[in-house]
Amino acid sequence: MHFLKYLMGWAITAALVACGGGGGSPGTTTGTSGAGSTPAAGTPTLVIELVDAAGVKTNFVSGSGVTARATVKDAAGAVVAGKLVTFSADAALIKFSPTSGQVLTDANGVASIQMSPASVTAGGAGSLNVATTVGTTALTGAFDFQLSASNVALTALDLGTGALAAFGNRAVSVLATINGVAATNTPIQVTFQASCGAVSPATVTTDNTGKASTTYSASNVACAGSNVSVSASAPGAVVVQGTIAVQAPQATNVEFVSATPQLIYLTGSVGATQARLSFRVVDSAGTPLQNQSVQMALVTNTGTGVSLGTVGNSSPLTLTSDANGLVSVPVFSGTVPTSVQVRASLVSNTTIFANSNALTVASGRAVQAAASLSVGKFAIEGFNIDGQLTEFTMSLADRQGNPVPDGTQVNFVAEGGVMIPASCVTSGGTSSCAVQIRSQGTRPANGIVAVLAYVPGEEDFVDANFNNIYDSGETFTDLGNAYRDDNDSSAYDSGEFLVPRAGATTCAGGTSGRANTCDGVWGPVDVRKQANVIFATSAANITGTLTNTVVGTSTLGSLEVNIADTNGNSMPTGSAISVEVTSAASTGCAAKLPSSVIPNRYTSFQQTISTEKCRNGDRLTVKVTAPSGLVSFRDFTVP
């Protein structure tokens, strides 16, 4: 009897206490009803178990994952369907699917959830905790598990099929497995590398099928025409690799890049006589292509003497593009001003070509007939005052009327004052340059300062056969040595500045050259021009004649006035002129002044001042005010 009671007591206790949860045995947990309730005849139960992919119960969680199942029954032992069950575990060890860890029991009272290692590096043991509620009874349970070692492998590397176009893109992928099963539940980071080009992104995580996918790009010109090795690696896995054949690039266009400089000058000129033309070979994506054969040829060269590659060559050349797809060729000027074009075409397909922008070959050296020297202010107040300035501009051209090269230097010498600076160079394609003269130091007694400008050039000639070069027997202008004609005698006089050059041939003199210093042959020469500037006095010399005529009841007259500086030259340009009338008898005498300033000139200034209603004794005062403010005046009395 006591033994029977003992057995009955053990059975009741087993329904209230959890049975063993390790070693693969299912775990059961019971709970109590809410406070104040009457206990049921039985107790709800919660049974926990893990099963692998084959349905075998286990307490090991492998890399491919297991299924955790919780069976819920009520106090009467009947299964409870549609009941919310919550699973939880250490997130560093385990992850669930669904990630919330919450599922409902099915018609058999079973709640199932997928468990897998949180990562391939996760290891050790842990507890699976399960909780639910049946009626007012809260049920909880735990199941101890062990993480099994994960054997990661990469398989099925997919690099696509067929050759990849140069600079093209292609999807690549690899399958990751854990212990021989696709890593559908455990994410694995896979890193891709390529021997040429780029993989982007280089590191990717497997998706829910265990596949890691990315994109390979043959982005480097060096990849074209080669087999590119692509590899995939993951922690703990053996590296897998394969190759992608990349097609050789196809040139589809030739582009003109530059001409440096864009303007060159005739052979023998002081300017640049050589330019470099550059072209680029590209494919359909605009990517430069290396090692492409390109033929360079002059589009037209008849009679111009332009050379390609080397001086004297006019035949086409074949060149190879460099790492930047560039081909460059020098072009040398000839003897005729012209526009030059060079065509660059693919040897493999001559219908693909480009012409250079027009390269201008301008003629070069200055000639005497095309030179001129201009002066800003012809007269400055420099005879008595230092620091007064005016500008001299030398303008040049070749025998065809083309600009001389930038950088052509012009030298200046002056009879008095100082040149600021003593030389200038042409720039900006203007074929001219300018300097200033400043009043100081030596002043010629007559106030007239001679300025000579000279520049290396060539003698004029008559091009009888129109080849733009001098040929023996053609007429030319033989120039003697350049000099500065200080006394305006139109001949060289002792003591005047001279540019010494070899030559003793008889030739005419004049301002273009010292007589009998020619060399008798056509060639280089100093192109020269002279201009004068007046260093004018501040004081004016005013002279004139006043006439007065009575016509009926009217009186008309005029004052012929001459205004000069004290040396007989023009007063400083811009000096002011005024006239004042003084009439003691208030006759209404008036005077009309045609010009109120001294214009830009070298010589004295004359003008007629008209008068009316002037009577005997009326006075006209002519005043001249220099730029410095000095006033000179002269009275004229009406007869």
Looking at the fold, whether 69 and 111 belong to one and the same domain comes out as yes
pLDDT the model gives residue 552? 66
Query: How far is C-alpha 392 from the chain's CA centre?
Result: 39
pLDDT in tens, 26-56: 554 544 333 333 444 589 999 999 998 888 9
Strands 198-200 and 211-217, how do they pair?
antiparallel
Could you say which of 483, 508, 535 is where a domain stops?
535
Say whether both 163 and 214 belong to one domain: yes
Three state DSSP letters for 248-266: CCCCCEEEEEEEECCEEEC
What pLDDT, in 10s, does the model give residues 259-304?
888 888 777 766 788 999 999 999 877 888 888 999 999 987 666 7
At 521, the amino acid letter reads V
Q: Which residues pair with 172 in a beta bridge?
A: 214
Domain tally for the chain?
A: 5
Q: What's residue 393's pLDDT? A: 98
Q: What average pLDDT does the chain have? A: 87
Q: Under a CB-based contact definition with an 8 Å cutoff, are residues 568 and 541 in contact?
A: yes
Q: Which DSSP category does 289 fall into?
A: -
My answer on whether 398 and 496 are in the same domain is yes
Expressed as residue numbers, the domain containing 110 is 2-147
What percentage of the chain has pLDDT greater than the value 70?
92
| Same structural domain, 261 and 228 | no
Confidence at residue 29, expressed as pLDDT on a 0 to 100 scale = 53
pLDDT band at 465; cut points 50, 70, 90: confident
The confidence score (pLDDT) of residue 501 equals 84
pLDDT single digits (tens) 224-266: 889 999 999 998 889 999 999 998 878 889 999 998 888 887 7
Domain contains 133: yes
Q: Which of 258-262, 530-534, 552-556, 602-606 has the lowest mean pLDDT?
A: 552-556
Q: pTM here?
A: 0.55
Q: Is the predicted pLDDT of residue 449 greater than 60, yes or no?
A: yes
Give yes or no for a cis peptide into 98 (omega within 30° of 0). yes
- Distance from the Cα of residue 450 to its chain's centroid: 49
**Range with the poorest average pLDDT among 325-329, 420-424, 505-509, 609-613:** 505-509
Question: Are residues 328 and 344 both part of a single domain?
Answer: yes
Q: Are residues 200 and 313 in the same domain?
A: no
Separation between Cα atoms, residue 588 and residue 517, nearest integer Å: 68
Residue 19 CA to residue 451 CA, distance in Å, equals 125
User: What's the mean pLDDT in 311-316?
Assistant: 90
Structural domain contains residue 446: yes
**Is 250 inside a domain boundary?**
no
